[in-house]
Structure formats: C-alpha cells, structure tokens
Amino acid sequence: MTTRLLIVGPQGSGKGTQGVRIAEAFGVPVVSTGDIFRANIKNNTPLGQKVKAITDAGDLVPDEVTSEIVRDRLAEDDAREGFLLDGYPRNTAQVGHLDEFLSGRGEALDAVIVLDVPREESLKRLTLRAEQEGRSDDTTDVIARRLDIYESETAPIIDVYAPRGIVDRIDGVGSLDEITERIFAALEARGLARAAA
C-alpha cells in the first residue's frame, strides 16, 4: 500500500520532527526541501550558492527551482511506494506543479497533515532554537518575516486541499509524543496503515 503525505505548519510547529517520525512509522522517505537546500549549501554546490544568497536575504527560493528539485527527488526509487513532503508545496502555484506531476503518474496525495500552532508559540520555539543551535539566520525579524510569508502564501494551500477531503488538522501544542499519536490516529482513521515493524 502506498502512502503519499504532506505535512504543513508554520516554522516552529515541529513539522520536521513529526515528519521524520511519521515517515519512519509508514516506511517512506521524508522529502524536505529545507534539508535538500541545506545539504547543497553545506556542500557548496552551485544550487547551494544560489539558495544561500536567496535565503540570507530572508527570501524564498523560486517556485520553478523548488519544483524541479522535488520532481527529481520523487522520481527516485525509494519514493515509489510513497513519501512525506515537508516544506513543499509552500504556495498555490507549487500545488499546481505537484498536482501535474502526480497526476501524470496516476497518483495523488493521500493526506495533508496540518499542524496548528499559535503564532506566539512558533515565535517562542524558533527564538529558543536559534539560541540553542546558534542559527545566525534566525533573527527575530527574519522569524517574523517567515511566519508572515507562511500565513500569506502557505496557509492558503490548505484551502485548495480541503475540498478534496484529505486535510487532517492536528493540534500542534503538547508533548512530541502526544502530537505524534494525534497524527497517527488521524491517518489510521483514513485507513492508512503503519509499516510492519
């Protein structure tokens, strides 16, 4: 059985951490645009240099570049039986790119997991993470700008997916384990079974 998932939530909602847990439980790879970009930046690839210049300015990578990277990743063998997307699509234009790609393969998303976290909680978590990890790009202004972009550009994708009946809104406040259990319960209610241990 295939499991094609998307996890959505503001920065600081814990979607990266939850994404890894879900992917492990369902036996699918996490396809995180942030991880792909960071790996390229770390290895100083041409893509990495381009992405770094864009993100250092607090801007987002263009849709075409992001969509191309995701299409390449989803075409790899390990994503054939499913995947968990984290950070993509991040706007309605990218939803269109993803729909076109998946429908071309006779596929569609099974569920969109939305982690609902109040803005104040996201700000608190991100500020703490920046201090703990020494992330120079996570200044208060940059964090606030990212949350604004999420609210104006990414949150509207939920309205695109909602009429398809695939959106599960999850309360993203609580312990990691509580939130993971809420997600598993929602997916299992859709008939999506975890991989056998």
Active site members: 15, 90, 129, 135, 146
In whole angstroms, what is the distance from residue 24 CA to residue 159 CA?
28
Residues whose CB is less than 8 angstroms from the CB of residue 81 and which lie 6 or more positions away in sequence, other chains included: 2, 3, 27, 28
Question: Helices then strands (H, E): number in the chain?
Answer: 9, 5
Grouping H, G, I as helix, E, B as strand and the rest as coil, residue 140 is helix
Instruction: Please name the residue that has the structure tokens 């990266």.
Output: 16
